[in-house]
Structure 1
Amino acid sequence: MSVEENLKSSATTDEETKNPNPNSKEDDEELEEGEIVGEDDDASSSSKKAITYQPHPLEHSWTFWFDNPSAKSKQATWGSSLRSIYTFATVEEFWSIYNNIHHPSKLAVGADFHCFKYKIEPKWEDPICADGGKWTVTFPRGKSDICWLYTLLAMIGEQFEHGDEICGAVVNVRNKQDKIALWTKNAANEVAQVSIGKQWKEFLDYNDTIGFIFHEDAKKLDRAAKNRYTI
């Protein structure tokens, strides 16, 4: 039965309840105090229950990760303080999480907050990330909230033409600025990476130049690593 038919059935039942058969006066007189008129209300309740809640599944499951700055130390191995927070697979789950966590502007300096496809760890050593790289955009401290949300929505909503290349995104909160980086799988695929970079800038309405660094270069050269692609 369609939703429209359900609603019509419910309306008909309610009308019959409001206007009982005038020839049934004896039935009305026999009602005891507190008795409900119209047993057919059960049919109406059943039809309403047929309209069930349906979640909206995403194409991929995603996991939020948090690197707690208070747990970091110079002696600790990089990534040892990284923890998975929650994995979500529907639109409703995403919003229930997003609306109940701190946004970048509320995170402590030194925090790193990630959102990656399920079973991909936000580390260079992850097999899927190993041959990849990242695009990076920067903002004044505390001004990245909106673009972080737009980045998340573009990723989980599969808005990128080369969406299969996307591993995830991270926002880094630092003393003077916030950085959002978009990680991809195959850094050598220039066509795909440039396409992703251009689309990302459009989604964010970001006007400054952005650069793409290979993870391999970052591992070898650290901060001296240079952009391979720029837009």
Structure 2
Amino acid sequence: MVVEDTQKPNVTTEDLNNNPRAVEDEEDLEEGEIHDDDDNDDSAAASKAPAALARNPHPLENSWTFWFDNASAKSKQADWGISIRPIYTFSTVEEFWSIYNNILHPSKLAVGADFHCFKNKIEPKWEDPICANGGKWTMSFQKAKSDTPWLYTLLAMIGEQFDHGDEICGAVVNVRNRQEKIALWTKNASNEAAQVSIGKQWKEFLDYNDTIGFIFHEDAMKLDRGAKNKYVI
């Protein structure tokens, strides 16, 4: 799958896929945490990194925030949302990669963890004013098979690849016992044309062949797992 930026020439496919700093060692990281090199011997090199990134940054159309929901902090369903906390906000291609390369990917997260990426100032909660009237498309993956689809989803969002990009609130990957799920949240659930367009494009970006469904947040709040898909692709 190739993610191309046709709407914002200042953020090209090459920019989005050019990983400026590959970090291999993630074994000692806490779940969802950003790698922090405290070695004083590297302080000189570290001090040069921000200056290098600042020379020719590639700004994104929107700023985005990563959020992490720690599985160990969830004691019961009533506590949902209490443990969610923002990790980092980024607004350039370079900032995205510096964060992405230093956090654990879905396959390395503990069962029960939720990792979000939402437009800045939108909280990944049903109660958020921007999300309240929205809904979500959901894709399911086999255990430890969502890393690449998660990355492609992020690139499509921050690269403004969706025709109805203004409808996008953000995305979340849920790590569970038997599978992993990625959900794409949108603003106006009742706008069927926009939601169907987003769902079709998302499937194309990820080359996903299974059927996906769209659930209204309002139905999910009232019916929980009894909520039914309003749109299906």
TM-score of the aligned structures, taking structure 2 as reference length: 0.76
Secondary structure at the aligned position of 1:61 is classed as strand
**Counterpart in 2 of 1:153?**
155
Alignment of 1:45-194 (within 5 A): 53-74=55-76, 77-194=79-196
TM-score of the aligned structures, taking structure 1 as reference length: 0.77
How far 1:75 sits from its partner (Å)? 6.8
**Counterpart in 2 of 1:229?**
231
Using the alignment, how far apart are the partners of 1:63 and 1:173 within structure 2? 19
How far 1:76 sits from its partner (Å)? 5.1
The one-letter amino acid paired with 1:128 is: I
Q: Which runs of 5+ in 2 are unaligned?
A: 1-53
Using the alignment, how far apart are the partners of 1:75 and 1:111 within structure 2? 14
Q: Which has the higher contact order (CA 8 A, sep 6+)?
A: 2
Using the alignment, how far apart are the partners of 1:76 and 1:132 within structure 2? 21
Q: Structure 1 168/75 Cα, relative in aligned 2: closer, same or farther at 3 Å?
A: closer
Task: Compute the RMSD of aligned alpha carbons.
Answer: 1.0
Q: Which runs of 5+ in 1 are unaligned?
A: 1-51
Identity among equivalent positions (%) equals: 84
How many residues were matched structurally?
Answer: 180
Using the alignment, how far apart are the partners of 2:78 and 2:212 within structure 1? 31
The one-letter amino acid paired with 2:118 is: F
Deviations along 1:185-214, whole A, 9 cap, x unmatched? 000000000000000000000000000000
Name the larger-Rg structure: 1
Using the alignment, how far apart are the partners of 1:75 and 1:172 within structure 2? 15
